[in-house]
Amino acid sequence: MKSHYRAVVIGGGVVGASVLYHLAKMGWSDVCLIERKILTAGSSWHAAGGFHALNADPNIAALQAYTIDLLEEIEKESGQPVGMHMTGGLTLAGTPERWEWLQSAYRVFQTIGIDDCRLVTPEEAVALNPVMSGDGILGGLWADREGYIDTTGTVHAYAGAAKKYGATVVENNRVIELNQTADGWQVVTEKGTITCEHVVNAGGLWAKQVGRMAGVELPLSPLNHHYLITDTIPEVAALDRELPMTVDLEGFTYMRQDQKGMLVGIYEIDYDHWMEDGAPWEYGFELQQEDLGRIENELMLGFERYPCLNDVGIKTWVNGAFTFSPDGNPLVGPVPGKRGYWTACAVMAGFLQGGGVGKSLAEWMIHGEPEADVYGMDVARYGDFAQNKRYIRETTGQFYSRRFVMTYPNEQLPAGRPLKMAPAHDAMTAAGCQWGCSWDLEVPLYFAPQGFEETPTLKRSNAHDIVAEECKAIRDGVGLLDITGFSRFEVTGDNAESWLNRIMASRLPAPGRARLAPMLGENGKLKGDLTVLNWGEGRYWIMGSYYLRAWHMRWFNDHMEDGVSVRDLGEEICGFAVIGPKSQAVVEKLAEQDIGTLKFMGCGQFDISLVQAHVARMSVTGEKGYEINCRYGDHIALRRMLLDAGEREGIREVGFNAMLSTRIEKSFGIWSAEFTQGYTPGMTGMDRWIDWDKEFVGKQAAVAERDGNGPAQVQVTLEVDTPDADASGYEPIWSDGARVGFVTSGAYGHHTGKSLAMALVDHDKSAEGTELGVHIVGVERTARVIAASPYDPTGKAMRG
């Protein structure tokens, strides 16, 4: 062990070893992994070792596919067998809803290029896994590249290959403390002190403590997880092939072969947290006593699915802890405010996701950006609110207990809620508001009659007609929308204008004006679809997606310069949007100044009755609208005033579901759908806002796209012939049997009376009138490319 390394990885499980391997292979050979005991101690040694293709986030599914490909490679590079058993895998559906979901999921996998899977009948499923009962099975999904590996061998293969590239592994050396320095970090260990530029927290069960050493409170917690291994099973021993990995979603179990017996794991409803503040330092190869009473119901379902279990003994019980984040995805990336401190934590499926995590983090550290869009596992997708112990306990427990439970797109889950509420929340609830959650904030979805309950579904819900009425109010009258759920950053300082000019690819607005502003990474891909407002006297706002607050603030700080101050106004400013052709008639009743002077994309400070407000003349619905921003303390009064002023015009409170419908009728994209950090301005049409005459972050790559052959796929609007369901995202698009694109988002256009979708399609399939096919909830439907903005294509309504 040397006294200085470029990077130190803390933790010798599969994730830490993968990070070390990827750093060394990509050229950072001066790196060291420090393990408190020996490699695999913690969770890695007792993991079941299964790998499979399924993941609800397509970007993470793609990284899982990378991991599977990598396993054989590291075996060759290291000379260490990983014990790969490519058995194939079955995922079973036992209810009509689950079978519908599985058919839909199959099409999503096609979108992301997982072509080695197919839907199977109940009879085919039993033929593939002859030791299981086919009772209650309606169908299944087969994937060729699923199976299991030797967990200990895999960790040593990663570490062994890393050492061949020049990396160092130090075992039996606990990290005692971390100290940030001007140049990086001081890592104090039992065997001495190391200085380094970068520290990676891959602490696994100890990630909480390693975070606290750096003043970081990570939103994660260990939970106990059971599996059993049987004695030899005659029916298994008699087979001439291995059993496939099998997931019984209704039975809460997964199964794989283990020698001539079986391993059966359980995701029980009655979850059990363990050592929420992190494992004891002396812990390593111990397990918890099995708790059969807690898993009895799920265990019985497993024995019913595999009747042969009733006639054999159980050789081993494993009840060990794994670490989970609130949404079950890893926590990866640079921690905001802690330069040089990186996380690779809460990777509960380490042997499935570890390769992708290691690759992405190494790219991030070395090149400044990962190749893939990894927002789904970015540590900055959470804010300070997620440090709360009860929040962590409720959300991690909810994820664990719902691991095999269906969650519908329109379903609202209760854990960690309600947390933050706009001041008028109670009044809006009394008016029938049904709430969703964005980051830590309750946001309005729609307003329903008393006693209404929405039914979870993959298709159009029983709230469809309610949303239609809200859309009608927006299009024909006036709607009132709580816009607390927008992010707002104030930018000031002597160099505010030059800084904004550098990080925003668009021209800046003049005083009293607002402008759409794409923000790019150095790789030329999007970092934001933002709006910049110039209030005059050197004061600007940046507005965007509320749930990206920490993510965007990290980006701003990473690109900060002297003479600039950026302040997050998310705890200070909220407001309402007044939207529709009658919006001006409502607002001018309250405005103390002439609101008619505020033209489209204008902004200014107005007295709205007693409220001093920042008002912007814009709307994402395609209608005339006013966004009235106020202090938190004015929110309740502002709502009352606007409702009273709009009574004669028939003002109606509306939610974000109506905004989704109306914005897609205008072909307006949103972040996480049409715009992501995986897409370029040319793909998404955001290049029309770029000011090519100035210098900005990402310009070189953006110019290369503009002056080259252009993007392979471009954004289009589709009209879909579908009677009872609408596209939501990642559905594959077909032409003559070939996959030519995918849906980015979809909704029913209540004013146009059409099912609409926005999509990325191959350039030669983007012409208006092109006939295509698209799978909606697993069923192929006819679609056609239509002109952008099927509602009011000239923009006359919103310009007023």
Residue with tokens 């309610």: 466
Q: Parallel, antiparallel, or unpaired for β 245-248 and 89-93?
A: parallel
* Chain centre distance of CA 111: 17
* Separation CA 685–CA 710 (nearest Å): 12
Tens digit of each residue's pLDDT (9 = 90 or more) over 665-724: 999 999 999 999 999 999 999 999 999 999 999 999 999 999 998 899 999 999 999 999
Instruction: Kindly state the percentage of the chain with pLDDT values over 70.
Output: 100
Checking if the pLDDT of 768 tops 90, the result is yes
3-state secondary structure 153-171: HHHHHHHHHHHHCCCEEEC
Checking if the pLDDT of 637 tops 80, the result is yes
pLDDT band at 549 (very low <50, low <70, confident <90, very high): very high
Tens digit of each residue's pLDDT (9 = 90 or more) over 286-312: 999 999 999 999 999 999 999 999 999
Give residue 757's identity as a one-letter amino acid code: A
**Domain with 277 in it: what CATH number?**
3.50.50.60
pLDDT band at 393 (very low <50, low <70, confident <90, very high): very high
Tens digit of each residue's pLDDT (9 = 90 or more) over 645-661: 999 999 999 999 999 99
* Separation CA 342–CA 784 (nearest Å): 45
Note the pLDDT of residue 28. 98
From residue 32, give the alpha-carbon distance in Å to each of 1, 38, 96.
8, 14, 51
Instruction: Kindly state the percentage of the chain with pLDDT values over 90.
Output: 96
* Separation CA 1–CA 190 (nearest Å): 12
In a domain? residue 429: no
Where does 504-568 have alpha helices with state H? 549-558
Is the sign of the CA dihedral 318, 320, 325, 330 positive or negative? negative
- What number is the average pLDDT over the span 127-139? 98
Q: Give me the half-sphere count of Cα atoms (radius 13 Å) on the Cβ side of residue 451.
A: 0
In a domain? residue 564: no
In a domain? residue 718: yes
Question: In this structure, how many other beta carbons lie within 10 angstroms of the beta carbon of residue 636?
Answer: 16
pTM here is 0.96
**Domain with 695 in it: what CATH number?**
2.40.30.110
pLDDT band at 36 (very low <50, low <70, confident <90, very high): very high
Please state the domain count of the chain. 2
pLDDT band at 56 (very low <50, low <70, confident <90, very high): low
pLDDT band at 123 (very low <50, low <70, confident <90, very high): very high
* Separation CA 442–CA 427 (nearest Å): 13
Where does 580-676 have alpha helices with state H? 583-590, 635-645, 656-664
Nearest CA to 251 out of 292, 294, 305, 296 is that of: 305
Checking if the pLDDT of 447 tops 80, the result is yes
- The two tokens of residue 380 are 């900055």
Tens digit of each residue's pLDDT (9 = 90 or more) over 361-379: 999 999 999 999 999 999 9
Nearest CA to 369 out of 199, 559, 219 is that of: 559
* Separation CA 513–CA 666 (nearest Å): 22
Question: Is-contact 305 133, C-beta < 8 A?
Answer: yes
Note the pLDDT of residue 623. 98
Q: Which are the contacts of 739, defined by CB distance < 8 A and separation ≥ 6? A: 110, 111, 732, 733
Q: Which are the contacts of 157, defined by CB distance < 8 A and separation ≥ 6? A: 74, 75, 77, 78, 80, 81, 82
In a domain? residue 271: yes
Tens digit of each residue's pLDDT (9 = 90 or more) over 148-158: 999 999 999 99
Checking if the pLDDT of 452 tops 70, the result is yes
Beta partners for 89?
Answer: 143, 245
Tens digit of each residue's pLDDT (9 = 90 or more) over 714-755: 999 999 999 999 999 999 999 999 999 999 999 999 999 999
* Separation CA 70–CA 154 (nearest Å): 11
Question: In this structure, how many other beta carbons lie within 10 angstroms of the beta carbon of residue 670?
Answer: 17
Question: Is-contact 122 139, C-beta < 8 A?
Answer: yes
In a domain? residue 738: yes
pLDDT band at 63 (very low <50, low <70, confident <90, very high): confident
pLDDT band at 62 (very low <50, low <70, confident <90, very high): confident
Q: Which domain holds residue 717?
A: 676-791
Checking if the pLDDT of 355 tops 70, the result is yes
Checking if the pLDDT of 55 tops 80, the result is no
In a domain? residue 103: yes
Give residue 484's identity as a one-letter amino acid code: T
Averaged pLDDT score across all residues of the chain? 96
Question: Is-contact 197 229, C-beta < 8 A?
Answer: no
Sequence-distant contacts of 792-795: CB under 8 A, at least 24 apart: 792/622, 792/666, 795/622
* Chain centre distance of CA 351: 20
Note the pLDDT of residue 113. 82
Nearest CA to 272 out of 317, 320, 316 is that of: 320
- What number is the average pLDDT over the span 176-181? 97
In a domain? residue 695: yes
In a domain? residue 445: no
pLDDT band at 59 (very low <50, low <70, confident <90, very high): confident
